[in-house]
Structure 1
Amino acid sequence: MTNAAISYGAQKGGAGDTDALRLVQYGGEVLEAFNSNVVMNGLIRNRSISGGKTAQFPAFFKAFADLMVPGTELTGKDVLKNEVTIEADGLLIHDIYVDRIDEMLLHYDLRGPYAKAQGAAIARIYDVMGQMLVFKASQGAELFPGDGGGTTITESASQDFMTSGSDLIDSLNAAKLALEQKDVDTNVLHSVLLPLQWSLIANSDKNINRDFGGQGSTASTVLRTISDIQIHKSNNFMFGRDVTAYNATTNADGLVGHPTDVRRLPATIAAKYQGDLTKVRGLVFTEDAAAMLHVLDLNTETYWDARRRATLLIAEMCAGGDSLRNKCAVALKGK
């Protein structure tokens, strides 16, 4: 009896890897999961680079004009300049081995949920990185003398950012005012919060632009105040948590390298992405507060390991950033 010639539906060109045509679908699912979970991508400055791991971002201070005195020669005036050099980090990666027989014996799809989990995992770390860079900016010094550094707004004795949407809206307006007083362009202004604070604002009748152009709908993940601040929510953010190195004896609440906490972070995450946010409730910022470099955008691979009779699913991204213009960030802090 002659063996049957199997026509593999996912084989490319009738030869080679029998899973070849599944790569695009899986990669697309991971990218879709990343895009649907990530918040900070696009809220701060992004730049894609190749052939290096650093990039320079120029900064210019304001110019000062004089009244012309007749007969005076114009000799030119200087405009103060500076630059911020930002370096990308190592590879952010998530990998899963899928046993061939185990997958065949299952009565449900395995790779779809895995793709969603991998995309969400990369998005969570990316959001933490972006959030921590904006927080770093809010605590940073001025870039030029007299230009102003970051800002922290702390709730007053009568305020409570954990229970009052009205108090949160007041703090958002105060943050915008603080930025405008430092000559920050607030035409596009963002705020990021946890779902609790977002819902307090969403259910407050104070200052929410819910009746104009459909903005502020609680069906969305973005609210817009009458003062034109876009408010984003996500559980990816680490407000109220200690984003520093875990130590069982001296810092059991630290999330960096924590062995069991569901919000834990990699032990190798850089120091610039660490800080104590236990009293921080949210951030207000413009895109100039921080920047992220993308050396490798989100990429996926599937690799058939013949020795292990399993498929390795990989999602990876190489990015990194730093604070940029510190005066463009405000931290909202509890007592």
Structure 2
Amino acid sequence: MKQIPLIDLQAQYQTIREEVRQAIDQVLDQGRYILGPEVKALEEEIADFCGVKYAVGVANGTDALLLALDAYGIGPGDEVITTPFTFFATAEVISQLGATPVFVDIDPKTYNIDVMQIREKITSKTKAIIPVHIFGQPANMDEIVAIAKEHDLFVLEDAAQAIGAEYKGRKIGAWGNAATFSFFPTKNLGGYGDGGMVVTNDEELAKKIRILRVHGSNPKYYHSMIGYNSRLDELQAAILRVKLRYLEQWNDARRQKAALYNELLKDTPVVTPYHAENRKHIYHLYIIQAEERDDLMKYLKDKGISTGVYYPVPLHRQEVYKHLGYPEGSLPNAEYMANRTFALPLYAELEDETIQYIADTIKSYYQG
């Protein structure tokens, strides 16, 4: 029986194999492996791609969040508003700095933070908002930015899943005070290892992050801050520069394949992704809802179709955050979606015939 993966990184690699190998050889021939010309060039290209002035490469997407918040000055006693329906790192970095994550429920259509509920969570301790452009669909950024300006709050876009997405014609990354990207291998722009980046128009913030990523030193061995060892290496940067040239093409392919899924599944009981107005959704993940999720996933697995749950436990209900006192039912939309959503296979190289098979298999499940 044919096995259909959730994502096929080998299929992508085969399309760019020679370019990637040439890029790797060039780095090895130069003999510069840390913060060299490839990182500098990638930073410039990502900044240009996002329409911002500065980009700073770091070791991973989690560090990108951590260093951006640290550079702004988030620390003990501060509160940071964010979504509970995201990967743990979004809240983890807040806690690592001694601050407190404050969770706001999600919009049940887009799965992004519900902007209508943000104001009621703002207190005198609130210092920042981290909207997450979940699954590749931008959050409602003009409303978030407006609220932040009213209360003098820092806006950090967690764009780990959304590089290339757009809100009202502007690239994600250009809306908040800063934004972060992850180059984890499965991302739309992924390396062959870990990597991350912060983008911003704030020169002082970018300068601080550059210092923080090298143990708080500038120049070397002269330390003005307690920093981190968080550097994007040359090999990953070189690989990412090759892939960046194809990103828009790959994102468009994802959008086309998502549209095919939507069409084929429209008359089934599953709920397909909602695409909000004025947004360019890049479908990092193709997420559907099903009342019978676990049973349907098992059925698909038996037919050779891989699926995945993102995310099974919302952050406010995680063991580590019990002390924050969010009882069951306190953020009902996030809890509802955690029990009913899952991802179907989606990547640029996925064949239409395979999507047809997946859709037919879902239909056969409901037809008994």
Same fold by TM-score, threshold 0.5 exceeded?
no
TM-score interval, normalised by the smaller of the two chains:
under 0.3
Q: Which structure: greater strand fraction?
A: 1
Taking CA–CA contacts closer than 8 Å with sequence separation of 6 or more, which of the two structures ends up with the larger relative contact order? 1
Q: Which structure: greater helix fraction?
A: 2
Larger radius of gyration: 1
